[in-house]
């Protein structure tokens, strides 16, 4: 008896539904990780394009949203590296680049505080608190150990607590 094997592939409709349900959430998550909405939108869109071409991989992973988020993160890191190389080459030939103004006053205080964190802490904090991933899920997605993720979370929370402290609140003497 011949056994029929069929590789499962997301249909156009299924992929469109997945995109519709996940694009805003993923863009928001990457925005918090990257601190740049335009960059988040770009890398999420590019990750979805790559996901469309790799629909078999996307389904086999069983975590298509994590696959897209990881792909978007990797694209952003790759872009950062390219920009850094370009900036270094520019400085070697033309001197220092002009300073860019910081975030506008309308920016959320939390997003500003998260931007102050080192990249791995920012990513871990975002995945844990915004994406509701467990430590183990973050470890798998980032390729780090669970203890490293826990360290990033502890240090990130401590840094956020420091950044988010209200300067108008004074500690009582002896507290």
Three-class SS of 74-90: HHHHHHHHHHHHHHHHH
In a domain? residue 1 = no
Task: Verify that 13 and 95 share a domain, yes or no.
Answer: yes
Phi-psi region of 170 (alpha: psi -120 to 50; beta: other; left: phi over 0): beta
**Average pLDDT of the segment spanning 46-74:** 83
More confident residue, 51 or 167: 51
The answer to whether position 127 is within a domain reads yes
pLDDT: which is higher, 61 or 100 = 100
Q: Is residue 175 part of a domain?
A: no
CA–CA gap between residue 159 and residue 169 (Å, rounded)? 18
- pLDDT for residue 140: 92
- Residue 150 is inside which H or E element, if any? helix 146-163
With 0.85 as the threshold, say if the pTM is over it. no
Q: What is the pLDDT of residue 160?
A: 87
- Alpha-carbon distance values, 122 to 44, 118, 126 (Å): 18, 6, 6
Domain co-membership, 58 together with 113: no
Lowest mean pLDDT among 54-58, 108-112, 164-168: 164-168
Mean pLDDT of 145-167: 88
CB 114 within 8 A of CB 82: no
| Structural domain total, the chain | 2
**CATH number assigned to the domain comprising residue 131:** 1.10.10.10
Domain span at residue 36 reads: 8-100
Same domain membership, residue 108 and residue 71: no
89 and 130 share one domain: no
Boundary-marking domain end, from 42, 74, 100: 100
Query: Please, are residues 160 and 113 in contact by the beta-carbon 8 Å criterion?
Result: yes
Is residue 2 predicted with pLDDT exceeding 50?
A: no
Over the stretch 81-136, which tens digit does the pLDDT of each residue have?
877 777 667 667 775 556 766 554 444 677 778 888 998 999 999 899 888 899 99
Q: Does residue 2 form part of some domain?
A: no
What pLDDT is stored for residue 6 in this prediction? Answer: 40
3-state class (DSSP) for residue 110: helix
State the pLDDT at residue 62. Answer: 67
């Amino acid at each position: 008896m011949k056994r029929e094997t069929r590789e499962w592939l997301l249909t156009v409709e299924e992929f469109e539904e997945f995109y519709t349900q996940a694009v805003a959430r993923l863009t928001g998550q990457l925005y918090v990780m990257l601190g740049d909405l335009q960059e988040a939108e770009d890398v999420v869109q590019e990750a979805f394009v790559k996901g469309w071409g790799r629909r078999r991989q996307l389904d086999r992973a069983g975590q298509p949203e994590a696959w897209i988020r990881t792909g978007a993160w990797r694209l952003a890191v790759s872009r950062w590296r390219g920009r850094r190389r370009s900036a270094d080459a520019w400085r070697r030939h033309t001197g220092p680049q002009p300073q860019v103004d910081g975030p506008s006053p309308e920016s959320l205080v939390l997003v500003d505080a998260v931007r102050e964190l080192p990249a791995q802490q920012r990513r871990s904090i975002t995945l844990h608190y915004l994406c509701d991933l467990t430590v183990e899920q973050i470890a798998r997605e980032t390729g780090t150990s669970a203890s490293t993720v826990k360290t990033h979370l502890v240090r990130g929370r401590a840094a956020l607590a420091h950044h988010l402290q209200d300067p108008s609140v004074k500690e009582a003497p002896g507290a």
